[in-house]
Amino acid sequence: PVPAAVASPLSVARRRVLGAAPVAIAAPALAESYQSGAVFEGGAGGLGKTKPNTGVKTADRVAGDARPQTTPPGPVAQRILGRDGLPIDVAFTSPWPTSADTLVARDYATGDGAYVLVGENRGPLERAVARKIFAGDGKYAAYGAPADVSLRATDVRGAGDSVFEYTFVALTPAMREVPRRVRVRAIVVGDDVVMLVAGSTANRWKLAAASVDEAVGSFSAREAPEFSSEMVGYRKRVGK
């Protein structure tokens, strides 16, 4: 289970080393380091970092193979593949520009944004979601494990469909602590949990909450139609 909102030993150790409470950083740096996950091109602390493992693959190639094409704010729809190749249609309304390949939406000026994750449907949904979001190869662990993780709210929307809200502290490339808040829509599709994670820094939450709600409320994930070429190919491959 997700720990309660109590300072973790890791967080305490960080503060001893850094000698300071969490501080704000300039918006462009914040946006790059947090909304693009481990992707941080150039600058101190950015060398050698790899892209976060979101589990997102488009129906024709691994997401991010080619230079992503960014679409303006508005409806987003993409066919992705589950962990075993099951074709899944995802859609949401994005208040921010979105990469069609990686399904990452972000505002570089503020650091607000959202991204899609695919994880294993194993155990209680809450645990499956937290395990994927805060994984060591995930977006928020690029410069160290997230600390002070707290599940603040749960909203069950239906069978295998829930919204979870978390607060936590993440590190920037400069090893500064930044409190963050995210809202996650998690939908079970077969053996997968498909998630939309939308959020901002804790400082901006009141300003970002309406956009976060718009994205999360509009998110959907379902198996592709049986007549689609991807589903026909999948059925032949797995024999069902």
Q: Evaluate whether 88 touches 221 at the Cβ level (below 8 Å).
A: yes
Convert the pLDDT of each residue in 31-43 to its tens digit: 444 433 433 333 3
52-95: pLDDT as tens digits: 899 898 776 544 444 457 889 999 999 999 999 999 999 999 99
- Euclidean distance between CA atoms 169 and 182, whole angstroms: 11
- pTM comes to 0.79
Could you say which DSSP state residue 66 is in?
S
Q: What percentage of the chain carries pLDDT values higher than 90? A: 66
Q: Which run of H or of E encompasses 65?
A: none
Q: What residue type is assigned to position 169 of the chain?
A: V
Q: Which two tokens stand for residue 145?
A: 């494990």
Residue 111 token pair = 């650091």
pLDDT in tens, 133-188: 999 999 999 999 999 999 999 999 999 999 999 999 999 888 999 999 999 999 99
CA distance 139 to 35: 8
Q: Across 68-158, where does the E strand assignment appear? A: 70-71, 74-81, 87-94, 98-99, 104-106, 113-120, 147-158
Q: Which of 2-11, 22-31, 107-116 has the highest mean pLDDT?
A: 107-116
How many CB atoms sit inside 10 A of residue 158's CB?
A: 7
The single-letter code of the amino acid at 58 is T
